[in-house]
């Protein structure tokens, strides 16, 4: 197994686990946040957004999902919402739609990546792209 095959396998396995969590999340917890923590739907969206972005060679090539709302990818408040405004959650079906887009993008996305490129355009620190995929934080 080469590195691209291993990355694809791990991406698909991780997204499969996320899909199961999305499908099984109790309705009462979907939009529930406690002590400043993001609700479940927002964590799921954050995970998908950055999975989608990391499948691009650089930030310039990244095009957010067509239903993306500015700032929703962040786990804190959105940059456009005022503190008193509630953030409109994505539905489970919308998150699963985005999940399918991300899962379907994995194979071609990983195949198109130049894993040896020094790439500091997604992160602010220069990283070898392979290092960023394996250890993104």
- pLDDT recorded at residue 125: 42
Tokens of 2: 């080469």
- pLDDT recorded at residue 116: 74
What are residue 127's DSSP bridge partners?
Answer: 119
Is 60 exceeded by the pLDDT of residue 76? yes
Q: Is 34 exposed, middle or buried (0-12, 13-18, 19+ CB in 10 A)?
A: exposed
- pLDDT recorded at residue 73: 86
């Amino acid at each position: 197994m080469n590195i691209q095959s291993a990355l694809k396998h791990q991406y698909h396995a991780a997204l499969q686990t996320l899909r199961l969590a999305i499908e099984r999340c109790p309705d009462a917890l979907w939009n529930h946040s406690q002590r400043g923590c993001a609700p479940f739907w927002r964590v799921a969206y954050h995970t998908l957004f950055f999975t989608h972005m990391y499948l691009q060679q650089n930030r310039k090539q990244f095009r957010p999902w067509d239903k993306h709302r500015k700032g929703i990818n962040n786990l804190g408040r959105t940059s456009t919402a005022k503190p008193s405004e509630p953030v409109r959650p994505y539905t489970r079906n919308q998150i699963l739609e985005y999940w399918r887009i991300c899962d379907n993008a994995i194979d071609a996305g990983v195949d198109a990546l130049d894993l040896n490129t020094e790439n500091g355009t997604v992160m602010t620190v220069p990283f070898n792209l392979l290092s960023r995929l394996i250890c993104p934080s």
